[in-house]
Amino acid sequence: MTKVQPQTIQLAPDLQICRILNGMWQVAGGHGQISPEVAISEMLQYHEAGLTTWDMADIYGPAEEFVGQFRKRLTKEKGEDELAKSQALTKFVPNPGPMTRSIVEYYIEKSIKRMNVKSIDLLQFHWWDYNDASYIDALHHLSKLQGEGKIKHLGLTNFDTARMQIMVEQGFKLVSNQVQYSLVDQRPQVKMASFCNKHGIKLLCYGTLLGGFFSEKYMGKPEPARSDLSTFSLQKYKNMIDLWGGWQLFQDLLSIMDQIAKKHDTGIANVATRFVLDKPEVAGVIIGTRLGITNHISDNLRVFSLRLDSDDYEKIKSVTSKSNDLFDAIGDCGDEYR
């Protein structure tokens, strides 16, 4: 059997990433106990398989430290040339309030040290409260740190289109915005996709698998009780399913996706991932890694050989067209956090 080669994309002229990014929110807690030593060993397995791009945040528990340890071990075992194939993307998630140069620089320096990098490949900025316009001050300071070489590229996390417009008009050079995007949550198509395509900004997408709901495990099953949802991800995305149209409509969608998956000799999760990757505004999809607990390397790689056809899209649309309008219910991307 031919080894599947992961697809990559140029997020910027000097930044190539894998189109499936390894998400590290799961190491922050609420997804099971993780052994650091086992986690680092498994990170090497992901890298060896070609899944070389890591997505984390300064608030994801030990995620940045894990990457730092992984980079040291990779260098020791494989050398600097192999290390150069790995990308480390993190987020700056400050509490709202005055954003001075010293505050911003303190947190960026902290991330650089923990990640064992000289410069952060992509710094994705998140801000909780739009009523506090200090996020503009933070971006000015981040841009200066970028000019000094501490950050290679600037992106965003969970900003809406209106705020992106303000940033672009003020001259900030942004390469990406990280938002929720899935077969259930297609809000980015309403406003953000056209804006991103116009301004050369790509989307990095999470929630594509709804924390694991997009799998054979939940097909044909009764609606789970809250007590059955064992991770923060499942609890979060069950709320999204409820808003979207409820458990029965979701079952209809799983049934259609299973038909498509069987036709292509793949799985429901792969269909869900491919659907989002096929969007022209999408650079990559972030799939959570529960390091040392579950390993989906081989399953994830199957996405790269999957091609959905027009009939597949029509079948999907026959179900999703019956759902509630999440843009109307929630608002633009990221509004669920505000």
Amino acid at 130: Y
Computed over every residue of the chain, the mean pLDDT equals 94
Q: How many CB atoms lie within 10 A of CB 251?
A: 17
Among candidates 150, 164, 153, which has minimal Cα distance to 107? 150
Give the tens place of pLDDT for each residue, 128-164: 999 999 999 999 999 999 999 999 999 999 999 999 9
pLDDT at residue 2 tops 90: no
The set of long-range contacts for 292-295, using a CB threshold of 8 Å and a minimum separation of 24, is 292/34, 292/35, 292/38, 292/39, 292/42, 293/31, 293/32, 293/34, 295/42, 295/45
Conformation bin of residue 75: beta by default, left when phi > 0, alpha when psi is -120 to 50:
alpha
In percent, how much of the chain has pLDDT > 90?
89
Residue type, 299: D
Cβ neighbors of 68 (< 8 A, separation 6 or more) are: 113, 114, 115, 116, 117
Q: What is the pLDDT of residue 240?
A: 97
Q: Note the pLDDT of residue 1.
A: 42
- Say if strands 8-12 and 15-18 run parallel, antiparallel, or are unpaired: antiparallel
Residue 275: in which H helix or E strand, if any?
helix 268-277
CATH homologous superfamily for the domain 14-213+273-309: NADP-dependent oxidoreductase domain (3.20.20.100)
Structure tokens at 214: 């997009």
Answer yes or no: is pLDDT of 30 > 60: no
**pLDDT of res. 29:** 62
Q: What is the pLDDT of residues 101-123, one digit of tens each?
A: 999 999 999 999 999 999 999 99
Residue range 267-284, pLDDT digits in tens: 999 999 999 999 999 999
pTM across the whole model: 0.95
